[in-house]
Amino acid sequence: MTNVLNNIIANQPIKPAKQAPLPAFTFNAEGKIKPLDDKAKLLPSRIFGSPIEYVKDLKQDVVNIGRAATGKANDHELGRINDVAMKLGSLGLAAYLFAKNPLKLSKAMEFVGFGTFFASMALWPKLAIQAPIKARTGVDIHQKYVDSQGRKKMLHQDPQYDLTDLYSREDLDKMGKKLGVSENLPDRDSFIKQRAKKTATQGNTLWMMTAGIATPVMSALACNRLEKPINNAIEAFDLKTSQKALETGKTGFFQKIKQSMADKAFSKFLAKNADKTVDEKMAGKIASYMGLNLNSASMQSAVASEIAGMTKAVTIDENFVRNALKGQVDDAIIASVVGTDAFKLAAQEGSLKNIATLLSQSAVEGKVAQQKLSGKLLATLGKAQKSGAKPTVGDVTEKIKGLYGSLSGLTSDKQILDRFVSARVGDKSGTYIANQWSRVCDGFIKSLGLNGKELKALADGDMSILSKKLAAISADDEAYNKVVSKLMKLIGDYEAKTGQKFIETVQAKSAQMSSAASEALSAGGFAEVAKKVSTEATKGTLKNVVDGAARERVAGAQSSFYRLLQSLDLFKRIGSSNAESKLAQMLKDAGKVADDAAVEKLIDAFRGIALSATATENIKKLKEVGIDLAEEEYKSIVKTLSPDLRFQLSSVLKKAGKPCNGTAVDKLLKACKDMVLNATTTDYVEKLKSAGFELSEKEYKAVMNVLFGEKAGSTIKASLGGGEQASAMLRGFGAYKSEFMSKVANWQNGMTPELSRCVVDAATNGANAIERNNLAGKPVSELVRDVAKQTYNSNKWLKIFGGTMIALTAVTLVAGLAIGRKSKIEKQLEQEGKQVNG
Partner 1 sequence: MVYNVGVQQNISNRAVTPSFGAEKQEKRSKCENHDAIMVAEMKKHPISTNLKIQADKFVNACTKYPKKGLSGSKNANFYEFLTMGSVPYVVGSAMMIGVFNAASKFFDTPAAKNASKLGKKMGLGVLAYGLAKTASKKLIELPVKWKHGIDVNMPYKKVVYELPEEGNKDNLVTHEYHKVFESVDFPRWDLLYGNENFGPERNAYFEKVAKKMGMDDGDLEHADQKVKPKIKEKLVQTKVFSTLASYLWAGTAVGVAMQKPWESLKLGKGFVKDFGSKFVESCKQFVKNESKGATIAGRALLGAAVGVTLLGNFMTLFDFNKDKGSKTQASTSLIDNSKEKVVC
**Region binding partner 1 by CB under 8 A among candidate stretches 6-14, 167-175, 716-724, 817-825:** 817-825
**In this complex, which beta carbon is closest to partner 1, that of residue 692 or of residue 803?**
803
As measured in angstroms, the least distance from the Cβ of 818 to partner 1 is: 8
Contact between 98 and partner 1 by CB under 8 A: the answer reads yes
**In this complex, which beta carbon is closest to partner 1, that of residue 77 or of residue 644?**
77
Contact between 78 and partner 1 by CB under 8 A: the answer reads yes
Question: DSSP class of residue 389?
Answer: H
569 CB-contact burial (10 Å; exposed 0-12 / middle 13-18 / buried 19+): buried
As measured in angstroms, the least distance from the Cβ of 179 to partner 1 is: 12
**In this complex, which beta carbon is closest to partner 1, that of residue 153 or of residue 592?**
153
User: Which of 606, 411, 598, 569 is CA-nearest to residue 488?
Assistant: 569
Contact between 209 and partner 1 by CB under 8 A: the answer reads yes
As measured in angstroms, the least distance from the Cβ of 838 to partner 1 is: 6
**Region binding partner 1 by CB under 8 A among candidate stretches 398-406, 492-500, 599-607, 818-826:** 818-826
Contact 189, 181 (CB under 8 A): no
Contact between 150 and partner 1 by CB under 8 A: the answer reads no
Beta strand 144-146 with 41-42 is antiparallel
User: Which of 570, 583, 565, 576 is CA-nearest to residue 477?
Assistant: 576
As measured in angstroms, the least distance from the Cβ of 183 to partner 1 is: 22
Instruction: Tell me if residue 381 falls in helix, strand or coil.
Output: helix
Largest CA distance in the chain: 157
Q: Which of 130, 164, 215, 408 binds partner 1 (CB under 8 A)?
A: 215
Distance CA 270, CA 397 (A): 7
Instruction: Tell me if residue 735 falls in helix, strand or coil.
Output: helix
Q: Which of 9, 16, 17, 32 binds partner 1 (CB under 8 A)?
A: 32
In the 3-class helix/strand/coil scheme, how is 776-838 assigned residue by residue?
HCCCHHHHHHHHHHHHHHHHHHHHHHHHHHHHHHHHHHHHHHHCCCCCHHHHHHHHHCCCCCC
Contact between 451 and partner 1 by CB under 8 A: the answer reads no
Contact 62, 164 (CB under 8 A): no
**Region binding partner 1 by CB under 8 A among candidate stretches 507-515, 518-526, 751-759, 820-828:** 820-828
Distance CA 271, CA 393 (A): 8
Q: Which of 55, 96, 288, 340 binds partner 1 (CB under 8 A)?
A: 96
User: What's the count of helices (H) and strands (E) in the chain, helices before strands?
Assistant: 37, 5
Contact between 86 and partner 1 by CB under 8 A: the answer reads yes
At 68, the amino acid letter reads A
- 41 strand-pairing partners: 146
Distances from the Cα of 734 to the Cαs of 483, 530, 554, 671, in angstroms?
A: 19, 41, 17, 24
Of residues 170-199, which lie at the interface with partner 1 (CB under 8 A)? 194, 197-199
198 CB-contact burial (10 Å; exposed 0-12 / middle 13-18 / buried 19+): buried
Contact between 445 and partner 1 by CB under 8 A: the answer reads no
Q: Which of 50, 168, 182, 205 binds partner 1 (CB under 8 A)?
A: 205
Q: How many CB atoms lie within 10 A of CB 630?
A: 9
Contact between 612 and partner 1 by CB under 8 A: the answer reads no
**In this complex, which beta carbon is closest to partner 1, that of residue 99 or of residue 807?**
99
Contact between 148 and partner 1 by CB under 8 A: the answer reads no
Query: Site size for partner 1, by CB under 8 A?
Result: 75
Distance CA 456, CA 446 (A): 14
User: Which of 289, 162, 218, 146 is CA-nearest to residue 805?
Assistant: 218
Contact between 800 and partner 1 by CB under 8 A: the answer reads yes
- 26 strand-pairing partners: 34
**In this complex, which beta carbon is closest to partner 1, that of residue 94 or of residue 393?**
94
Helix axes 780-818, 452-459, angle to 10 degrees: 140
As measured in angstroms, the least distance from the Cβ of 91 to partner 1 is: 8
Beta strand 26-27 with 152-154 is unpaired
Q: Phi, psi at residue 139, to the nearest 5°?
A: -95, 125
Q: Phi, psi at residue 35, to the nearest 5°?
A: -65, 155
**Region binding partner 1 by CB under 8 A among candidate stretches 309-317, 466-474, 520-528, 824-832:** 824-832
For the chain, the first-to-last Cα distance in angstroms comes to 79
Contact between 838 and partner 1 by CB under 8 A: the answer reads yes
As measured in angstroms, the least distance from the Cβ of 72 to partner 1 is: 5
Q: Which of 45, 60, 201, 544 binds partner 1 (CB under 8 A)?
A: 201
**In this complex, which beta carbon is closest to partner 1, that of residue 99 or of residue 335?**
99
Q: Which of 6, 11, 19, 160 binds partner 1 (CB under 8 A)?
A: 160
**In this complex, which beta carbon is closest to partner 1, that of residue 21 or of residue 51?**
21
Contact between 813 and partner 1 by CB under 8 A: the answer reads no
Contact 155, 144 (CB under 8 A): yes
As measured in angstroms, the least distance from the Cβ of 245 to partner 1 is: 21
As measured in angstroms, the least distance from the Cβ of 293 to partner 1 is: 14
Contact between 797 and partner 1 by CB under 8 A: the answer reads yes
**Region binding partner 1 by CB under 8 A among candidate stretches 98-106, 402-410, 572-580, 736-744:** 98-106
- 153 strand-pairing partners: 145
Contact between 169 and partner 1 by CB under 8 A: the answer reads no
Contact between 479 and partner 1 by CB under 8 A: the answer reads no
User: Which of 788, 225, 783, 224 is CA-nearest to residue 451?
Assistant: 788
**In this complex, which beta carbon is closest to partner 1, that of residue 350 or of residue 803?**
803
As measured in angstroms, the least distance from the Cβ of 813 to partner 1 is: 15
**Region binding partner 1 by CB under 8 A among candidate stretches 86-94, 354-362, 592-600, 708-716:** 86-94
**In this complex, which beta carbon is closest to partner 1, that of residue 70 or of residue 614?**
70
Distance CA 319, CA 341 (A): 16
**Region binding partner 1 by CB under 8 A among candidate stretches 20-28, 313-321, 324-332, 664-672:** 20-28
Residues in Cβ contact with 776 at an 8 Å cutoff, skipping those fewer than 6 apart: 559, 563, 679, 680, 681, 740, 744
Contact between 817 and partner 1 by CB under 8 A: the answer reads no
Task: Write out the DSSP string of 736-766.
Answer: HHHHHHHHTSSGGGGS-HHHHHHHHHHHTTT
As measured in angstroms, the least distance from the Cβ of 36 to partner 1 is: 11
Question: DSSP class of residue 166?
Answer: G
677 CB-contact burial (10 Å; exposed 0-12 / middle 13-18 / buried 19+): buried
Contact between 812 and partner 1 by CB under 8 A: the answer reads no
As measured in angstroms, the least distance from the Cβ of 244 to partner 1 is: 25
Residues in Cβ contact with 358 at an 8 Å cutoff, skipping those fewer than 6 apart: 337, 340, 342, 343, 346
Of residues 292-331, which lie at the interface with partner 1 (CB under 8 A)? none
As measured in angstroms, the least distance from the Cβ of 71 to partner 1 is: 3
**Region binding partner 1 by CB under 8 A among candidate stretches 1-9, 48-56, 308-316, 792-800:** 792-800
Contact between 106 and partner 1 by CB under 8 A: the answer reads no
Contact between 158 and partner 1 by CB under 8 A: the answer reads yes
Pattern of binders to partner 1 over 43-72, x per CB under 8 A? Answer: ----------------------x--xxxxx
Q: Which of 45, 60, 90, 273 binds partner 1 (CB under 8 A)?
A: 90
Contact between 204 and partner 1 by CB under 8 A: the answer reads yes
Contact between 350 and partner 1 by CB under 8 A: the answer reads no
Contact between 39 and partner 1 by CB under 8 A: the answer reads no
As measured in angstroms, the least distance from the Cβ of 84 to partner 1 is: 9
